[in-house]
Amino acid sequence: MSRPVPSFGILTLATPNDYQKAIGLALSVRVSNPGVPIAVACSARVRPFVEPYFDHVVEEAAGLRGFVHKVYLDRYSPFEETMFFDSDVLVFKSVMPYVEAWRRHPYTATGRYESDGKSAFGMDRAEMLRQLGKPTLVVIDGAGHAFFRKPACTGIFDAAREVTARHKEIMGGIPYADEDVMDYVMTMSDLPPMPKSDFFSRHVSAKPGTIRMDASKGICEFVAQDTGEVIRACMMHFAADEAPFTYHYQLHKLFRKFGVAAPGLWRGAFHDFYKRSIHLQLHDWKKRLLARA
């Protein structure tokens, strides 16, 4: 017998390399949003690892790679209204107050407006504005989340898939990033970004030494770097292998709380540390050295 699909739920993606992170996200949602159904899109290979921790498991589309999956979220979500989170996110508070405020839009995420500069992947914002004939560009870089509502969001995702198909033509020879695509489509569609306020955070959002965090109890509080205000964040995005030991300690607490076996969890922390703090720095040093040659 098929399970009835609720009108609202949370969605994430899981890969063979990050499915433990996706499980950690799901467990943090169980703590902070009890009763809210959670779905995951993944390959058949990953399904056995994640299935016990999610209410819905959706098979991802064959032939898609990496970030491209994110412009198919409307097809992956079994819900009428969806809050999507990247797998490397932890959730600490109820998402419902934000859903209530955001649901007037077919698609949105927290962000800001910019008129120049380049994205982390090299998208020239001024050039995009010239193409679109708009004064400012929506920027949701690194958001790690999005809210969307069916069927109104279909046109937004169709546009994102069209931009994806024409990515090189529109954005030049830069690496593909779904956030660049959604910046472009949101701007084209006059969709505003939402204020970050106390919804979104990164580990670098906090003044050093001020974070009080326990995902197993739904606690995340810190003093903001930019404003000095005390923030009780709804979510934290550990993007780009940020704060690997802090993040994996929170995963450890969640897995222990729910009795989930996590072989290799701390090996993952050291792997993320190596990628961010050693490999990336060596790569940057090599680029600077070659530039001087």
Which pLDDT value is given to residue 240?
A: 79
- For residue 103, how many other CB atoms are within 10 A of its CB? 15
**Res. 279: pLDDT tops 50:** no
Which pLDDT value is given to residue 292?
A: 58
- Residue range 49-78: mean pLDDT, rounded: 97
Of 1-5, 111-115, 201-205, least confident by mean pLDDT is 1-5
Which pLDDT value is given to residue 1?
A: 39
pLDDT band at 264 (very low <50, low <70, confident <90, very high): confident
pLDDT band at 25 (very low <50, low <70, confident <90, very high): very high
- Residue range 171-198: mean pLDDT, rounded: 97
**Res. 226: pLDDT tops 60:** yes
Which pLDDT value is given to residue 272?
A: 74
Which pLDDT value is given to residue 138?
A: 98
**Res. 291: pLDDT tops 60:** no
**Res. 152: pLDDT tops 90:** yes
**Res. 273: pLDDT tops 80:** no
**Res. 285: pLDDT tops 60:** no
Which pLDDT value is given to residue 171?
A: 98
Which pLDDT value is given to residue 271?
A: 74
**Res. 282: pLDDT tops 60:** no
Which pLDDT value is given to residue 2?
A: 43
What are the structural domains, with CATH classification, of the chain? Answer: 8-188 (3.90.550.10)
Whole-model pTM over 0.95? no
